[in-house]
Structure 1
Amino acid sequence: MVRWLKIGFTLLMTAILAFSLGACGAGSSGTKKKALQNVRVAEVTRSVFYTPLYVALAKGYFKEEGLDIKLTTTWGGDKTMTALLSGGTDIALVGSETSIYVYKQQAADPVINFAQLTATDGTFLVSRKKIDHFSWNMLKGSTFLGQRKGGMPQMVGEYVLKKHDIDPHKDTKLIQNIDFANIANAYASGTGDFVQLFEPNATVMEKEGKGYIVASFGKESGEVPYTTFMAKQSYLKENETSAVKFVRALLKAGKWVRKTDPEVVAKTVQPYFKDTKTDILASSIERYRSQGSFSDDMILSKSGWSTIQEIMKEAGELGQTVPYSKLVNTTIVKKAAK
């Protein structure tokens, strides 16, 4: 009896010890595992143009940096900037011109461009008819379905047309009163001879035989800080470490996009474009990649800043220029690249 009591006591102590060690181990790993930091990001639209962002999300690069990204689509530059200024989001992905508009309103807490996602315009000129030998002069006298006045697509579009001696307001019947989200549908329904479209809408038009891509505004305009990540100056001062981690994940994603087969990239970002076929996504990604639309180093250059303001002046949206040092911070990208 005593022998069995000893055996029972030994087994009990062994179980207690094992439980204690296990509990200690769980507590230890629990303390070592840091909670992810939430970062709210608002994108101006959902676009293949922003592929590196979706890759960073899909492949877990942000989580590797200790960040939990809450992405929302705000559908429009004005709504995106309102979300940022009101504290509804921490970081905005939107055209860099919006930071200039805010600065011109003498904001006490200016919006700072800290990383450039796209380095060219992302739109393409689509023709109703197939044109074997396209010339920009063909737009004269046509009905041109453009973009919203004051937005980057429209301003770059006008900039490119004027380079080819075309004044869209005088030489074309310019339509600008259709919401961004409905432009492709309006064209597919028969509005306009030419239209300015982002991917994948441009490729979809070709696939459906409703239009043909005849030129790239991105190639024609050259380097432009088209879409950048920006945040209020106060946020970047208080969260610089997180901003560096954020950019580091994006740099990793951009590198992966540049060296990976477009079809593989397309399958990776497919969950963000459930209504778009993989082959169309792959074609769109390759089109952007081949013309250098995805920024390699994510640094908004002084020359790019000069170009965007020249474009805004041409469009009549800017009087006095804003110094590069006022609204651009390259320190975060440089730290992330180390």
Structure 2
Amino acid sequence: MSVLRRFGSIALVATVLLTAACSSGDDKKVAADAGGALTTVSYLTGAGVQGREAFIYVAIEKGFFKEEGLEVKVQPGNGTEQNLKLLQSGQADYAMVDITASLIAYGEKKFTDFTIVNAVQQLNLSCIMALSGSGIAGPKDLAGKTIAYIPGGVVYSLFKAYARLAGVDGTNIKWVVMNAQQMPQNLAAGSIDAATQFAVGKPAVEAAGKGKTAVVMPFSNYLNDLYGNGLGVTKKKLAENPKQVKAFNKAMLRGVEYAMANPDEAGQIYAKYQKLQPAKVAAAENVLMKSYVEGGANAAPIGSLNRDRVARNIAIIQSAGLVQAGLTPDDVITFQIPS
């Protein structure tokens, strides 16, 4: 079943009167092209602007947002905590955030005026990554090593839970703060031994490593019931403009679905808008991401969120001592956007 059928037909936000008589996506696109006003909204990527988020540019390039009456301005994010800060302060309309990190942030009462309306990845992407020749072949080799991380990032937040299950002695690990874009080059230079990463970042790390192979240690091998990233929006915006939120969600998930089906084209579209990664690397990230987007229990529909699974996510982070009891799925997740 396609994303379009799953999320239904949604009228244009800014051109309802103009498109009331139109029934097809082509008609709506023609109407927008004919001069219908578009509503400009801002979107924060997860961390930097990597090829794994080509889907947002796909949705722009293919006119999916325009069909919904939206013009999207993409801004580079810097991890869940910073993205939630900007979102809650009104400096962004929509933001990509890690669902587990968001649950932790809400449970700690750092941020509470937000909700998540989809799951781009049904499986969590968090991992520790190293390069061959670093002396790291598996999780237990991380003991005593220097690992770069993003403050407030989900990988660092989850590391203790992962380390306990994977048998890692984390007492003498040296943690250093580093921007996500700098990590591949520093791994290649040997100034750090490993880095917090998303598993789909393997092509970029190997490209920087110039012939070295990436050693990927996915958290999902041990924490296999956690979601990945999802679309965050403030509760205030959802309450005041649910039609726009639904329209944005629909267009974005169309972009996700298209990018997973056409990774090479997604890489080319990404490279048209961004120069951080070449098209080939961006395409490779999308190939790797497909199993995370389409994975999970019972091949869940793209973007879907299940209340029972979110409850299990909460139980995992509670058992790791990351949040106190009392947090519920509906505190953070909107399972159905109001009409």
Q: TM-score range by the shorter chain?
A: 0.7 to 0.9
Contact 2:107 2:324 in 1 (8 A): no
Contact 1:127 1:193 in 2 (8 A): yes
Distance 1:157 1:285, change over 3 A: farther
Contact 2:129 2:214 in 1 (8 A): yes
In the superposition, the TM-score normalised over structure 1's length comes to: 0.75
In the superposition, the TM-score normalised over structure 2's length comes to: 0.75
Higher-Rg member (1/2): 1
Contact 2:121 2:229 in 1 (8 A): yes
The count of corresponding residues between Structure 1 and Structure 2 is 300
Give the AA of the match of 1:98.
Answer: S
Secondary structure of the residue aligned to 1:331 is coil
2:102 corresponds to which of 95, 98, 103: 98
Match of 1:15 in 2: none
Q: What is the CA–CA distance in structure 1 between the aligned matches of 2:219 and 2:257, rounded to whole Å?
A: 21
The correspondence of residues 95-134 of structure 1 with structure 2, limited to 5 A, is 95-96=98-99, 97-98=101-102, 100-102=104-106, 104-105=108-109, 110-129=113-132, 134=137
The correspondence of residues 130-149 of structure 1 with structure 2, limited to 5 A, is 134-139=137-142, 141-148=143-150
Q: Higher helix fraction: Structure 1 or Structure 2?
A: 1
Match of 1:65 in 2: 68
Gaps of 5+ in 1: 1-28
Match of 1:22 in 2: none
Match of 2:186 in 1: 186
Q: What is the CA–CA distance in structure 1 between the aligned matches of 2:286 and 2:157, rounded to whole Å?
A: 23
Shift of 1:99: 5.7
Distance 1:275 1:146, change over 3 A: closer
Distance 1:55 1:223, change over 3 A: farther
Secondary structure of the residue aligned to 2:177 is coil
Distance 1:130 1:263, change over 3 A: farther
Q: Please give the per-residue CA displacement for 1:277-316, whole angstroms capped at 9, x wherever unaligned.
A: 2222222211121344788421222244234434544654
1:299 corresponds to which of 304, 316, 321: 304
Gaps of 5+ in 2: 1-30
Please give the root-mean-square deviation of Cα atoms over the aligned residues, in Å: 3.3
- Please state if 1:86 is matched with 2:89: yes
User: Structure 1 vs Structure 2: percent identity of aligned residues?
Assistant: 16
Contact 1:121 1:293 in 2 (8 A): no
Shift of 1:98: 3.3
Shift of 1:238: 1.2
Q: Please give the per-residue CA displacement for 1:112-158, whole angstroms capped at 9, x wherever unaligned.
A: 11122223333444333269x9543333x441414235421223344
Contact 2:107 2:323 in 1 (8 A): no
Give the AA of the match of 2:65.
Answer: F
Give the AA of the match of 2:82.
Answer: K
